[in-house]
Amino acid sequence: MTEPVLFSPFRMRGLELPNRIVVSPMGQYSATPEGFATDWHLMHLGHLAVSGAGLVITEATAVEPAGRVSSACLGIWSDDHIAPLRAALAFCRRHGGASMGMQLAHAGRKGSVSVPWEKQVALDATNGGWQLKSASPIAYPGRPVPHALSVDELAEIRDAFAAAARRAAALDFDLLEIHNAHGYLLHSFLTPLANARTDAYGGALEGRMRFPLEVFDAVRAAWPADRPLGVRITSTDWADGGWTIEESVVFAQQLKARGCDYVCASSGGSTPEQKIPIGPGYQVPLAERIRTEAGIATIAVGLITEPGQAEDIVSGGKADLVALGRGMLYNPRWAWHAAEALGANVYFPHPYERCHPSLRGSDFLKPFRDAKPAS
């Protein structure tokens, strides 16, 4: 029987993923007020590392304090953030079978809010909030007007991304991703819905791409050459006058020319007025178009829930990898179940081997697969 493409290896630079399943970055809002990882992160990343997925990416990790979404978001803006994360990663490497990636982020004009279970209420200096930053003084609806960043301030944030990449390298992450989506800072430069600048960082597409590309160049220079660097983008704002899929193709071409290894094709997040055609795999055509027209590897994400659906995406050349977020939280053993459904082998940690369906019945001690635990 031919091995499903979903469970075939995929190589980027010096990294070979054991399969095409990615665990998306998912905000946990469980860090200390200083942005340090906690026991929650050890549990969260640890159980996903043993899930059978080929790659697990951390939640959006802020490159400066004002880059957080909330005061409970993870940070990597100082060397002090390294040690708490190292403990969680040590568990993942000792017991897991997944490669580990970090996503670097800056929330921009969508930051300084309470955690989701407290309704993400906008905060100000009187209740623990901070000044928002963006391309232009255009507020995300319901949030304060952000400070428009000067050219000197842009350089400081660019350098903060590069410094964060060096810390990620010190932690020995296998892969790095830049969050350039969902209306956060870097995407706020791309979309006309948030960028009304008249200097070199606004106006036509070339100007609006300038700062995100400068950040990419700085991170690529700071990140080891043999390790993959990808970018998550909003492929379209799904709104009149917003960022479009055609512009995303051009942006992806520019990223590829600068050494980008993949694009994760998400969408939306810039405006509440977005009209998203929600449905199974609704963003897959975006990933396929970017992959075809920009000639770059893509990750498809968004309501990918069934093993056959995921296999069709990668085997049909619609994307190179598939990412699951909330679906993995709801069913952390999705990859195991997908392997069973598709007739493939997948990683199991030794203590859980006995739960594999092939060990039910009289031959429950018989080895069932070739995958070996990480050393």
CATH of the domain at 147: 3.20.20.70
Give the per-residue pLDDT at 1.
59
Q: Is residue 374 a part of any domain in this protein?
A: no
Q: Is residue 208 a part of any domain in this protein?
A: yes
Q: Is residue 367 a part of any domain in this protein?
A: no
Q: Is residue 364 a part of any domain in this protein?
A: no
Beta-bridge partners for 162 = none
Domain count, the chain: 1
Q: Does 201 qualify as catalytic in the annotation?
A: no
- pLDDT tens-digit map of 285-314: 999 999 999 999 999 999 999 999 999 999
Inter-residue contact 157 to 224 (CB < 8 Å): no
CA distance 29 to 117: 10
Give the per-residue pLDDT at 293.
98
Q: Is residue 42 a part of any domain in this protein?
A: yes
Give the per-residue pLDDT at 126.
87
Inter-residue contact 296 to 263 (CB < 8 Å): yes
Question: What are the average pLDDT values for consecutive 10-residue runs of the chain, which has 375 residues?
Answer: 91 98 98 98 97 98 98 98 97 97 98 96 91 98 96 98 98 98 98 98 98 99 98 98 98 98 98 96 98 98 97 98 97 96 93 84 46 46
Give the per-residue pLDDT at 361.
60
Q: Is residue 177 a part of any domain in this protein?
A: yes
Tokens of 168: 């990620």
Give the per-residue pLDDT at 63.
98
Helix intervals (H) in the chain: 39-49, 82-95, 151-170, 185-190, 205-222, 245-257, 284-294, 307-315, 326-330, 334-342
Q: Is residue 373 a part of any domain in this protein?
A: no
Using DSSP, state whether 246 is helix, strand or coil: helix
Give the per-residue pLDDT at 3.
87
Q: Is residue 368 a part of any domain in this protein?
A: no
Angle between helices 205-222 and 245-257 (to 10 degrees): 40
Domain housing 262? 5-359
Query: Which of 29, 140, 184, 347 is flagged as catalytic?
Result: 184
